[in-house]
Amino acid sequence: MLRRRRERRPPPARLPAYFTVAGVRLDEELERLRGLPVFAGGALAMRPELKVRRASRRPNRVGFAVPSEHRLQVTAYPGVRPGDVLETLLHELVHLHVGRAREAHAWHGRTFKATLARAMEEAYGVRDVGARSTLHGAYADAIERRRAKPQLELDLA
């Protein structure tokens, strides 16, 4: 018996509220981030499918990407900050762009970390963050500090 490959349907049209997490319109931010020079000529030329999961408490996985399906998910949870969702969205976009590298720590190795650092600087002006682990949070704190500075006119929300 031959199995037919399941056809991917286009994602349903969603209201803006679906994509709004911590005051950030993730769909609009996704579009802005796709245009960063770090992603030029890569997999993000085609818009990935974005899903927002709503959780009643902070999960241990705040987002994930599936490069083979060109989709990503960001989780909204009580107490999530704008910096948290911005970091998670960009982190998962880097996964779609880099994919699984042929190196040690294929998903979070040198290539991933270098690309993420460059993307964070291009997107949010954040640099020199000692993010040694694969856990989210180090860049989010830096983004939150940048957003708190009144002299900076950053429209990140």
Residue 143 lies in a domain: yes
pLDDT, one tens digit per residue, over 54-96 is 999 999 889 999 999 999 999 999 999 999 999 999 999 999 9
Task: Evaluate whether 85 touches 25 at the Cβ level (below 8 Å).
Answer: no
pLDDT band at 149 (very low <50, low <70, confident <90, very high): confident
In the chain, alpha helices (H): 16-19, 26-34, 82-98, 110-124, 138-148
Alpha carbon 108 to its chain centroid, in Å, reads 14
Q: How far apart are CA 75 and CA 63, in angstroms?
A: 6
Q: Is residue 11 part of a domain?
A: no
> In the chain, how many domains are there?
1
Which of the four pLDDT bands, split at 50, 70 and 90, describes residue 130?
Answer: confident
Report the CATH number at residue 36. 3.30.2010.10
Q: Which domain holds residue 55?
A: 16-148
**DSSP secondary structure code for residue 136 in this structure:** S
Q: In this predicted model, what pLDDT tens digit does every residue of 29-49 receive, in sequence order?
A: 999 999 999 999 888 999 999
88 inside domain: yes
Mean pLDDT calculated for residue range 14-33: 96
Q: What is the pLDDT of residue 134?
A: 56
Higher per-residue confidence, 62 vs 134: 62
**pLDDT score recorded for residue 71:** 95
Give yes or no for residue 7 having a pLDDT over 80.
no
Give long-range contacts, CB 8 A cutoff, 24+ apart: 51-56: 51/11, 52/18, 52/19, 52/21, 52/26, 52/76
In a domain, 153, yes or no: no
Residue 37 lies in a domain: yes
Share of the chain above pLDDT 90, in %: 64
What is the pLDDT at residue 106? 85
Asked whether residue 8 is assigned to any structural domain, the reply reads no
Q: Does residue 156 form part of some domain?
A: no
Chain centroid, CA 24 distance in Å? 12
Mean pLDDT rounded to a whole number for the chain: 87
pLDDT of 150 above 70: no
- Within-domain flag for 1: no
